[in-house]
Amino acid sequence: MPFSLFNFGKSESNNSKNKVVNIKLDQIVPNRYQPRKVFDQDGLRELAHTIEEHGLLQPIVLREYEPAKYEIIAGERRFRAMKMLNWETAPAILRKMTDEEAASLALVENLQRAQLSSVEEAQAYRQLMDLNHLTQAALAKGMGKSQSFVANKLRLLKLITPVQTAILDHRISERHGRALLDLNEKQQRTMLMRIVNEHLTVRQTEDEVAKLLGRPIPSVVAKQKAAARETAKQASTSTKAKKARNKKRGKKTTKSAKKVTDGRIALNTIKKSIKLATANGFRLTTHEKNTKDAYQITIEIPKQQ
């Protein structure tokens, strides 16, 4: 996973990794590559309450970037919660890392643990690629994601800053933002204001974007497809019903024809027998009559031949 990919802190011994020390909070600064831009204050207060009740279960991870000055590698939310509680020191594990390693580890740690917004996640991927000179494919493999997943997140960075900020602030959704990707800057600004002021849904936004670009309207296309499916369904049902009726009628017709055919076969069989008897020297007389309901044939065979 990412730690083997980015080679973090391989020179450290196990003892130095696990040693916990107390560092003054005023000597600690957040990591400049922290991907989270917005911290939920209610969530921080809940975390502070938990720490106050049960103590800090997991130390934060720091690196000494200058003498007696420390940068957070992992645990900024815990750091902020301890500041809310007015703690003077924080239990911490110190790591020796380069600037690139510290930045990369902070990004990876937050990607793995924090519920980042889609824009924060995209920014973190971009920073990791730049810091470690990675392709999308290499980053995706290291993060355990598909390349298409990473590529789709990175596309959000093509949005103008106000749109990205609106996603960060949860004023619009990621899907709203994706609907604006094909618009120019001016169009994005206009649509952003409409989405916020008119409370447009994602589908409504997609329709308005399509109108701007002269494309088929998604909602209209969806209705047409639904109508076509319903028509096809009804046609299929009608065809099946027709086939069933025809099959039923066919059975009756066949049955009726079979009765007629059977009667003629019997009559022909009798006539062949008469011809065979005559050919063998028998003298006999026949009388045939065809009534509405039956074939009648009378055969007279003299006793003395």
- Write 179-185 long-range contacts (CB < 8 A, 24+): 179/205, 179/206, 179/209, 180/205, 180/209, 181/155, 181/156, 182/209, 182/213, 183/209, 183/212, 183/213, 185/160
Q: Point out the catalytic residue in the list 71, 76, 101, 206.
A: 76
The amino acid at residue 162 is P
Which has the closest alpha carbon to 107: 9, 34, 189?
34
- What's the CA gap between 4 and 14, in Å, rounded? 16
Q: Are 134 and 120 a contacting pair, CB within 8 Å? A: no
Rounded to an integer, what is the distance from CA 61 to the centroid of its chain? 36
Burial of 298 per CB tally in 10 Å (0-12, 13-18, 19+): exposed
3-state secondary structure of 142: helix
Q: What tokens appear for 70 in the block?
A: 């420390």
- Look up tokens 């207060």; give the residue: 45
- Asked if 76 is an active-site residue, the reply is yes
- Look up tokens 């009667």; give the residue: 263
- Return the active site residues: 76
